[in-house]
Structure 1
Amino acid sequence: MSSILNEVSLNVNVKIDEKVLEDNYQFSSFSVIDNDLTNLEDLPSDDIDGNLNGSLSTDVFETLNKKKLLIVFYNTLMRSKFYYLLDSATKVNVTDYYYFERQIYQLNIKKENGITINSSKPKFRAGINAVNEHVLSIYFQPSKIYERFQYYLTFEERASQNSCHIAIERGEQDIEVPYDKLESLKTLSKNVVDIFISIFDDQDLIRKEKVKFKEGIYKKIITLP
């Protein structure tokens, strides 16, 4: 199996010895199913002289649920399909990344009670260590996959979603509260401003996560006139 960033599908290829199959069993397709045995989905598949090929579109991982890879055979005598958990005789441990709806996701394929596929957002550590009326002391440690992108601390007025951005870097840093910019976001007599880490690829937003206070304590620390 292989995947490359920007590809829209994964190719699945299995070589099978037809001698191990009974005559009344025919390859039907590959399938995936969620780990809780829901959301069964057949994949586009074909059989070329015993080389079984399937195509796994990345939009299958939209729910980010862990999935198992299945192989499906049709029994011509019973006229029904049989689903089998696909396994490997050797260790499988693949990690790669792909784009889906302008965001980057990490794909992990492992031999774990069968071939298991797990999709998730790359690791992203960010938060506020300390705060006062003038300065936010933040930490920011994104996955290396984001190295070539631009990072910002985003202030967003909740009702209107008006926002402003301040460029930041990896690591710990102190950010002055931009009261002049926050004033321009106001649309109501009382306004709530949320704080996010935003990652851009030039003009395209590829990830946005709300910043949390390290100790989990939430309080009003910025007051707009």
Structure 2
Amino acid sequence: MFRVGSLKSYNCEQCGNDFVSRTALRYHFRAKHLGKVHCEKCGREVLRETLQDHEAANHERMTAEKQGCFWDMPPKREAKFVAMEMSTSCRMCPRQFGTIHSREHHEKQDHRFTASKRAQMATGLSPGNILDYKNPTELKRFVEEMLRPIPGPASIACATEIEAVINLLKECFPLPVARLIKGGSYIKGTDTQGWSDVDIVLFSEAFENLEDCKKKLPEVINDLGKRLKKSSWASRFGS
């Protein structure tokens, strides 16, 4: 079972179709799949008791006909059998399978590739959400390799610089600082290789009320700028 927006959808593990209720799913399973098994050679569902008859009637005859057609052409015969053997590729990764059933089982288990996603691909729509097509291990690998900042000496030096800047702002602030809160993607650990930001919030008890704060804040900010320009870090700040 998975959620689509605010609606629940119940997925049939046999064929991948989605249903709006457990009752609909049970009815579908009893009508379409109960007592049936997949033929490993063609992927079709057949009654368990007729599986041997199905294989004899369909696959043994087809194999004999194909062997006869290619018997006098060994190179072509070999190429034909290899192509038949590995003719089914996963639609989400390079893995190949001998039957459609084995491919679909892999897609559902490893990529959560259900009927709704197959329909989306069949209409030519590109995947809109990477979470729909990656299992937890693949997502973790993607985050570590593509999103998370690269650790090492540069990362450690960056952390030291950020702490120094925060301490400088606290020291140069014209009013007594009662509390300081650090935020932003860098502090929360949600920064990426291409984007990072740091926020700090300073609290002071020097204002009487909100109106007093609004009135005095421009002067406080201006004074802070002057102090920063006089500090040892003056050359590293912009105008």
Answer whether TM exceeds 0.5 for this pair: no
Larger radius of gyration: 2
Shorter-chain TM-score bucket reads under 0.3
Larger RCO, structure (CA 8 Å, separation 6 or more):
1
Higher helix share: 2
Which has a greater percent of strand? 1
